[in-house]
A = this chain, B = another copy of it.
Amino acid sequence: MFITIDEKDRRPIYLQVVDEIKTLIARGELKEGTPLPPVRQVAANLGVNLNTIATAYRELQEEGLISIKHGTGAIVTSSRANNFSSEEDLRRPLRAALTQLVLVGLSSKEILDLVAEELKQLVKGGK
């Protein structure tokens, strides 16, 4: 399982980890039932503290994507997020991302291509 963290990214490391794992789940690279690697192992690989990864796992558990069992480890339990979010909550981050692409000078077509490309990687499996 490949996760990378970005020093330059201003968001906290644990949230970066959360997003990377979410993407892996969305892509189907982590299917339901799959065990996640131990907290300590991920922490060692990324060179960060154990607690940082533990926080990420806890967050994923709260969103209902994984289940953590004491003494046993964590497994993916769902590829569906508990959606307590309103449509606006989903639109906001999308709009912000698109806005930045526009401001950087990309044309509508370039943006749509970019979106299509990313989306294709996310739903490789089908749907």
Contact = CB atoms under 8 A, between A and B. Distances in A.
Nearest to A12: B70
Given A92-B9, A114-B91, A118-B94, A19 B99 contact: yes
A71 B23 CA distance: 26
Nearest to A23: B99
B93 A105 contact: no
Contacts of A42: none
Contact of A90 (B90, B93, B104): B104
Contacts of A1: none
Nearest to A19: B96
Interface residues of A, number: 51
Residue picked from A6, A108, A119, most chain B C-beta under 10 Å? A119
A81 interface: yes
Interface string A48-70: 01000000000000100101001
Interface in A83-105: 83, 85, 88-105
Contacts of A97: 90, 93-94, 96-97
Given A89-B8, A119-B112, A83 B96 contact: no
Most buried by B among A6, A81, A104: A104
A123 interface: yes
